[in-house]
A = this chain, B = another copy of it.
Amino acid sequence: MSRPEATIVARDVLEALVGRGQTLATAESLTGGGIGRLLTSVPGASRAYRGGLITYATDLKATLAGVDPGALAAHGPVAAETAVQMAVGAARRCEADWGLAVTGVAGPEPQDGHPVGQVFVGIAQPAAGPLEVHELALDGDREDIRAATTVAALALLLDLLGRR
């Protein structure tokens, strides 16, 4: 997806949230802040985007994002359960209605038995209950996978906002 299309998805997510009077926080591993950067490229992003956590080191997924240490040890950093708990933690730590989280393998090397391009996207609205997790299998080099993860995560959240 080209840069202008990525910006449109970010703008649409922010508009959907503003229309609902709700806010968003992020927790990012492989994208390293790219989702927050894209959201804040939109002027007025502060009306709906509160901020986020960049949990690049595995232990920060527990100590910063609040993933249960036992679950993190059992499932590892690249896992559906970890993505969901990161999303919940982002919303709670940043006092937002929604949490959006991504964890996965950008490459160039596989990680702990997970192939390059395997990505989990977690979406949570802790106070209201909704939890979703999506597994992606992305192609391309490190930057392709990071860019595709950024757009896919926002598109999945936009889809969920349209359904609820």
Contacts and interface: CB of A to CB of B under 8 A. Distances in A.
B33 A28 contact: yes
Looking at chain A's contact residues, is the secondary structure mostly helix, strand, loop, or mixed?
Answer: mixed
> Which 6 residue pairs across A and B have the least CB separation, nearest first?
A33-B33, A32-B40, A33-B36, A52-B54, A51-B56, A34-B37
B56 A49 contact: yes
Interface residues of A, number: 39
Contacts of A142: 41, 43
Given A33-B34, A39-B32, A63-B95, A54 B55 contact: no
A123 interface: no
A37 B31 contact: yes
Q: How many copies does the complex hold?
A: 2
A43 B56 CA distance: 12
Nearest to A94: B60
A33 B40 contact: yes
Contacts of A60: 50-51, 94-95
Given A41-B146, A94-B64, A46 B56 contact: yes
Nearest to A43: B108
A51 B33 CA distance: 9
Interface string A15-36: 0000000000010101111111
Given A33-B35, A51-B55, 17 more contacts: A28-B33, A32-B33, A32-B37, A32-B45, A33-B34, A37-B37, A37-B146, A40-B146, A41-B143, A41-B146, A43-B108, A43-B109, A46-B57, A51-B53, A53-B53, A54-B54, A59-B95
